[in-house]
Structure 1
Amino acid sequence: MGEIDGRLAKVLGVSDVVVSVLVLGAVWGVLPTRWMPLDIPATLLGLAFGAAGVGLLSAAPWGVRVAKGVALVSIVGGALLFSALVFTAAHISGLYGPVGAGGAVLLFVVALLLLPYLVLLPAAQLLVLAKHGADRG
């Protein structure tokens, strides 16, 4: 397997930068209140996605390795967050019946919005990097 080619690195780098902007924008622009147990890990993940994107776009020797690490962390953290939101939604719906259905729907929507960016895209990126970037990461 050869090194990752320039066009693929640019596509993956841009996707990492976009995810970085989305994560940081969601945490610091959309969430109405500050809660450090969420703000700190999400900010670190957003900054890590940004660093991975810059590393891939600039063809830095560490770019592929950082991108693989960030993707793996995102998959694990995103899967845990997705599971927690879905289980909480099910619990709220079962516990409060029709009254809790609104909250459950909101949690399901948030979980479904997070899934592509924190689990599916990083999983695809990790597969592509493992296949095409084996020599540099």
Structure 2
Amino acid sequence: MDSNPPNQRDAVKLLARLGYASRGVVYLLVGGLAALAALGQGGQTEGSRGALESVLTAPFGKVLLGIIALGLVGYAVWRTLQALQDTDHHGSGTKGLAIRGGLLVSAVTHTFLAFFAAKLVVHIGGSSGS
């Protein structure tokens, strides 16, 4: 009788893991596109937004982009919790507050990136890319 129901902490861990995975996918896409551009293979170095736009050309691109957007929201939630609840014990000194402020900036940045990805999924029917 040791079956504990999933709790809020498990949900946060799952969101954080999905967030780290999504963040990794975005970085791999950016790096891959930069490598293709450097090799003259037609890749574009357009940053995170360009990388997300390139996902749309893949099979099931809208689904993949939706999963990435959800993961980025999870990552932003995790960063917010790290900053506000001081889960890493940075403290409330000058250095600790600076680190925690950086975590909040990261949360905001990833929220905007998630919003951009979600907007691409919803708005894709109205425009055609190259």
Normalized per residue, the structure richer in helix is 1
State TM-score, norm by structure 1: 0.48
Q: TM-score, normalised by structure 2?
A: 0.50
